[in-house]
């Protein structure tokens, strides 16, 4: 349901922070069509507040029904049902959080002041800021590059959808499709406010959208990458041939081998410079001082126009995911023997659930090269994602998603602006990145300073990813395509190593599930053989994740550390099963929070290795923290504060469950 807009400014502000504003997938189960849930609620005359009450009532009925059969089984459910926000226990937590959080910010700010004796060491990494009296830390290349190009991105966000409107005006869809001389009117659905478009009208909308996406993609590639656009289109053509021309049984393996080769070759060959290709073709580079032949000179000239983004290979990793998605979606469509699943299940094609949009194959004639390029180089999602499967893209092109509403998109834009503002303010007051880049002498920092600088470093990484993901998803929403939201929770709002990966880069997580994890058989730790196979599955998945990010040893170590850190949580789940603690819900909650503290410390360590300081840097940080007794005391105090924070995380999730929302992370 769209957030309730009535009730004045406070209600509007509250609706901006509603989960439904970020992504309707958070409040609508993946197997339920959005319109059905929306109209069932509207049909009963309910609004969002009523839905919250109904969710609470559902939990109450569940707890009551359970208590009639087993008093012990209802303990944890009853514990979840009772709100703890106003209890003495949580008033103590509020006091601790109220002291700890400002102190954390103060520590990072204190070492970022010009009066700090180490300021001159990292000052060269700072730039002039827009807040009076403060410089800004733009030492991170990715965020600095995005920040410089924000005006261009803003213009694209405006003019790309306007270009589509012009295209639609020049190539309109007939308002009424006919078969012979008989008009075909749209059929009504009890879960829709407007008739379902006819298949002919839906096909016409698909052709109209993909033809624009294809045309814009070609122009976009040339402007962005210059003559290197030809290299990208050549790779796309080879992958398309693999997916559609090879015998069916060879498609999956060949697709994976080809795309892994491309992943490595892009890195090792530095984007295949035309001059280098010409040198290979002509038998070698000319001796120094000798005039190169015409082919080498021509290659040098082609390399001279590299577009606005010369390093296309750096950005191509995310396109590889779309190439694999197209080929495997097409491969699975060949298993459809006869008839459409939509007809067999009597589904409304204009009102499919998200699960059906992803799982139900597109029509056989939708797997064309034009649609393929339109999908792979879809401009709003080309640079950073979020990742959309080919089936989902075609479904949304054929039928307009019901989840896209102007009011929700405006609120999402406000959320993006607030995230950007938060990033800017933090970079003006906490110079975490610059301090790290300046190769600090960690022994000159206290254990608290070292720990909190590392902690905030991870938050900067989270924000620098959140900003572009929200920006490009906003562009996609404005254009009429609804991809998944990549970040569900703040990086600080995670206590489970397993659940963390459901909320961090969520569209990538779902891609991994569909194309690697499930085909490998998933995981099961019920037997020793199953446990060994599950560990191999996890290692395979995270080895690919590490190599996909970048071909570096520290990322491989990061991926393997993640798998290693999964194991304690999995083992704890078997040693302390929930059902044995049903009669002791409070003790079970405390036990889980203690385990959550260990999980948080392990996740911080792994991500510092992979994305911040590397293995050597982490070793230096740990030595710096533990070199004196006060470092150990700080770790114990920090663990206590994390324990309190995890109790708050538990209650946030319980509050969501009381509203009928289960994000599973």
Q: Which residues are catalytic?
A: 549
What number of helices (H) and strands (E) belong to the chain? 30, 4
For residue 333, give the nearest of 389, 253, 260, 416 by alpha carbon.
Answer: 389
For 216, the token pair is: 């814009």
CA distance 226 to 213: 19
* Joined tokens for residue 26: 């958070």
DSSP string, 252-296: HHHHHHHHHHHHHHHHHTTTT-HHHHHHHHHTSPPPTTSPPPHHH
CB 381 within 8 A of CB 472: yes
Task: Name 187's bridge partners.
Answer: 196
Q: Name the residue among 252, 251, 301 with its Cα closest to residue 275.
A: 301
The rounded distance, in Å, linking the Cα atoms of 265 and 565 is 31
**Would you state the structure tokens that stand for residue 272, as one six-digit string?**
């295949």
CA distance 273 to 270: 7
DSSP 8-class letter at 136 = E
Contact by Cβ (8 Å): 361, 391? yes
How much of the chain is in helix, strand and coil states, percent to nearest 5?
70, 0, 30
Q: At what angle do helices 141-148 and 447-479 cross, to 10 degrees?
A: 40
Among 209, 123, 124, CA closest to 164: 209
Question: What is the rounded CA–CA span in Å between residue 147 and residue 156?
Answer: 15
Report d(CA 534, CA 443) in Å as an integer.
42
CA 121, 123, 124, 125 dihedral sign is: positive
List Cα–Cα distances, 297 to 226, 293, 557, in angstroms.
17, 6, 43
Residue 484 contacts residue 23 (beta carbons within 8 Å): yes
Other Cβ atoms within 10 Å of 395 Cβ, number: 23
Residue 182 pairs in a beta bridge with: 179
Within 13 Å, how many C-alpha atoms sit on residue 59's CB side?
23
The residue ranges of DSSP E strands in 34-75, in sequence order, are: none
Number of neighbours of residue 45 by Cβ within 10 angstroms = 7
Say if residues 350 and 196 touch (Cβ distance below 8 Å).
yes
Sign of CA dihedral 618, 624, 629, 633: negative
According to DSSP, residue 361 is labeled: P
What whole-number distance in Å separates Cα of residue 488 and Cα of residue 23?
Answer: 9
């Amino acid at each position: 349901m769209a957030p309730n807009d009535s009730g004045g400014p406070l209600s509007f502000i509250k609706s901006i922070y509603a989960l439904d504003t970020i992504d309707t997938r958070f409040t609508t189960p993946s197997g339920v069509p959005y319109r059905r849930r929306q109209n069932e609620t509207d049909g009963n005359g309910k609004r969002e507040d009523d839905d919250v009450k109904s969710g609470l009532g559902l939990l109450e009925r569940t707890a009551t029904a359970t208590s009639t059969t087993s008093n012990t089984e209802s303990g944890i459910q009853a514990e979840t049902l009772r709100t703890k926000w106003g209890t003495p226990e949580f008033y103590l937590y509020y006091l601790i959080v109220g002291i700890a959080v400002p102190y954390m910010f103060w520590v990072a700010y204190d070492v970022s002041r010009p009066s700090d004796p180490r300021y001159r060491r990292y000052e060269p990494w700072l730039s002039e800021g827009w807040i009076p009296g403060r410089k800004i830390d733009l030492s991170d290349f990715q965020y600095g590059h995005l920040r410089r190009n924000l005006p261009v991105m803003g213009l694209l966000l405006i003019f790309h959808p306007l270009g589509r409107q012009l295209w639609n005006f020049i190539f309109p869809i007939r308002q009424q499709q006919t078969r012979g001389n008989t008009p075909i009117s749209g059929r009504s659905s009890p879960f829709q406010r407007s008739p379902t478009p006819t298949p002919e009208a839906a096909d016409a909308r698909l052709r109209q959208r993909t033809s624009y996406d294809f045309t814009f993609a070609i122009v976009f590639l040339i402007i962005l990458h210059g003559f290197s656009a030809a290299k990208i289109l050549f790779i796309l053509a080879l992958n398309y041939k693999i997916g559609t021309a090879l015998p069916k049984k060879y498609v999956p393996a060949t697709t994976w081998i080809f795309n892994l080769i491309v992943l490595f070759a892009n890195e090792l060959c530095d984007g295949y410079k035309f001059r280098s290709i010409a040198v290979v073709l002509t038998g070698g580079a000319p001796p120094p001082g000798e005039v190169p032949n015409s082919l080498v000179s021509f290659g040098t000239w082609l390399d001279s126009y590299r577009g606005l983004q010369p390093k296309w290979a750096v950005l191509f990793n995310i396109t590889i995911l779309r190439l694999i998605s197209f080929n495997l979606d097409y491969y699975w469509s060949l298993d459809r023997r006869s008839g459409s699943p939509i007809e067999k299940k009597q589904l409304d094609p204009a009102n499919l659930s998200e699960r059906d949009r992803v799982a139900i194959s597109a029509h056989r004639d939708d797997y064309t090269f034009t649609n393929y390029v339109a999908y792979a180089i879809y401009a709003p999602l080309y640079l950073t994602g979020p990742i959309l499967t080919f089936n989902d893209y075609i479904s949304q092109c054929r039928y307009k998603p019901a989840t896209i509403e102007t009011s929700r998109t405006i609120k999402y834009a406000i959320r993006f602006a607030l995230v950007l503002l938060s990033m800017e303010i933090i970079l003006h007051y906490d110079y975490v990145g610059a301090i790290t880049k300046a190769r600090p002498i960690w022994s000159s920092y206290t254990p608290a300073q070292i720990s909190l600088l590392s902690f905030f470093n991870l938050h900067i990484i989270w924000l620098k990813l959140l900003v572009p993901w929200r920006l490009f998803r906003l562009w996609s929403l404005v254009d009429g395509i609804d991809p998944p939201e990549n970040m569900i929770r703040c990086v600080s709002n995670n206590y489970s190593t397993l659940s963390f990966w459901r909320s961090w880069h969520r569209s990538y997580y779902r891609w991994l599930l569909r194309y690697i994890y499930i085909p490998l058989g998933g995981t099961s730790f019920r037997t020793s053989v199953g446990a060994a196979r599950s560990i191999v599955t996890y290692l395979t998945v995270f080895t690919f994740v590490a190599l996909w990010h970048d071909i570096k040893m520290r990322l491989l170590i990061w991926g393997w550390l993640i798998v290693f850190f999964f194991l304690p949580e999995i083992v704890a789940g078997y040693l302390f099963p929930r059902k044995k603690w049903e009669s002791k819900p409070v003790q079970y909650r405390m036990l889980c929070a203690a385990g959550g503290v260990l999980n948080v410390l392990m996740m911080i360590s792994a991500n510092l290795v992979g994305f911040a300081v590397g293995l050597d840097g982490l070793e230096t940080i740990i030595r710096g923290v533990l070199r004196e007794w006060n470092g150990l005391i700080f770790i114990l105090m920090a663990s206590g504060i994390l324990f309190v924070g995890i109790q708050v995380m538990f209650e946030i999730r319980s509050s969501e469950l009381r509203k009928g929302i289960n994000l599973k992370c």
